[in-house]
Amino acid sequence: MSEQDKKEEKGISSTAQLANTPFIDIDAYAPKMMANRVGQVGISKANMSFLTTLALSILAGVFIALGAQLMMMVTHTATSSFGLNALVGGVTFTMALVLIVITGAELFTGNCIIAMSFFAGKIRCGDLTRNLVIAFIGNFIGALSIVFWIYISAQWTANNHLLGAKIVIAANDKVHLTFGVAFARGVLCNVLVCLGIWLCYSARNNLDKVLSLLWPISCLIACGFEHCVVNMWLIPMGIILKGNRFVMEAVERVNGGPLDITNLTIGKGFIVDNLIPVVLGNLFGGIILVAGVYWFVFLRTAKK
């Protein structure tokens, strides 16, 4: 065999080996594939049993409350709630969404993105509504359970009750928002939450998911947007702590005088003035502005 024949045979052998080598795709999923993945997840969530959905929703409420508590802890000594202090709070709060996404918990706000499955005709309106209602109830139960445990733990007494004062002041600010402001902040909040969840569908591994969540979630906290599940923990916690004399003395030190807490109540302050407009805003932002837009772009079937 000539030298030229040997080279050609070697080249053919190398090509055959290369063809038989499995191709490993490590790039992030493209947006079209992300949309298809969301559609399949929507079907999976629609078929999940009531008890499973409720249990996972309770866990999500617990995780959000723990993230909010951590956020309060790391920022309670700051002299300002804006700028870098707010960013630090947002970065630490991201822990909550990391726990939810990686453990598969059911978050009311994040689940709004599965409306893409409904718009695409993969699930019924009743399936979407059922999931969101169960998630809302479970999140509420989980968040209120952490109100109980944080109160029993007496962590709010930290730093001469300044942590408790921070919680009361933050809760009080939320019950004094107008309907329009609370609604708009709810819209912006869930746009960012659902964008964070949307980015996670491009991920190949858990580190990708953590990094995908970091900036959208940090943004919503740093900008002071309204997340209904956070408020399910924060405002009830503030309502309980406002009855503690030492906490209110700390509030006066921080506030530079007495704080008007007359609207920090369960009925009008929490439910009417905050929770209702924030929930409506969260639903609009997640279902219409994120799920609806990405359905229109990637899953809509064009008319022939």
List pLDDT tens digits, range 215-255: 999 999 999 999 999 999 999 999 999 999 999 999 999 98
List pLDDT tens digits, range 253-299: 998 899 999 999 999 999 999 999 999 999 999 999 999 999 999 98
pTM score: 0.89
Confidence (pLDDT) at 11: 56
Confidence (pLDDT) at 304: 43
Confidence (pLDDT) at 172: 96
**Residue type at position 268:** K
CA distance 139 to 137: 6
Task: Find the DSSP H helices in 154-244.
Answer: 158-174, 179-200, 206-222, 228-241
Per-state percent for the chain, helix, strand, coil, to nearest 5: 80, 0, 20
Q: What are phi and psi of 139, to 5 degrees?
A: -60, -40
Which residues, 6 or more positions from 86, have their beta carbon under 8 angstroms from its beta carbon?
75, 221, 222, 223, 224
Domain with residues 29-299, CATH architecture: Up-down Bundle (1.20)
CA distance 212 to 199: 6
The pLDDT-based confidence of 182 (bands split at 50, 70, 90) is very high
Confidence (pLDDT) at 122: 93
- Three-class secondary structure assignment of 16-30: HHHHHCCCCCCCCCC
